[in-house]
Amino acid sequence: MLKTQLHKNFDTGDFKVGANTLKQLLWYFTDILFFKSRVIPVSSILVVLLRLFGAKIGEEVRIKPGIHIKYPWKLEIGDYSWLADCYIENLDRVIIGKNCCISQRAVLITGNHNYSSTNFDLMVAPIILAEGTWVGAAAKVCPGVTLHSHAVLTMGSVATKDLSAYAIYQGNPAIKIKERDIKK
């Protein structure tokens, strides 16, 4: 039986950071000083900083202090979305539609490793949250997953596969528990 060999021949596949070393270094310190430190509690300033680093952010987006964003230049957020102190490890693109909510301590991870490879190769895939989706507190979204329009991933649940539109998912792995009926 073969064993993993993490010390050599590590393959990152097609992964590219997407920014030069200076930009990465500037983001590192900006992230520590303004996002992780929670020194700036004003959403509009955090949005401006993210835009300066290449994030595409719509109108009236709310970003809470304490949020973790690996690479802002790989992030797109639609109008009127709210992001609490969540964790976005976006080695690949993360696209968040309009009117989305990502709650406290939610985790979006676009990368993982191939456990069946001796080299434990890196695999990345984008995450897409369509319009009106909600990722509950401490919920997790895995690489390559799409939450279709108005889907809900409940608190503490783990999305390993796409979530259907207007459906509520719960558990680990998340399974559909009912339809989402939105009332005025």
Tell me the sheet residues that pair with 62. 82
pLDDT digits (tens, 9 = 90+) for 140-171: 999 999 999 999 999 999 999 999 999 999 99
Query: For residue 2, what pLDDT is reported?
Result: 79
Q: Is the pLDDT of residue 41 over 90?
A: no
Query: For residue 164, what pLDDT is reported?
Result: 98
In the predicted model, what is the mean pLDDT of residues 23-48?
94
Confidence of residue 47 (pLDDT cuts 50, 70, 90): very high
Q: Give me the domains of the chain, ranges plus CATH numbers.
A: 21-179 (2.160.10.10)
pTM, rounded to two decimals: 0.93
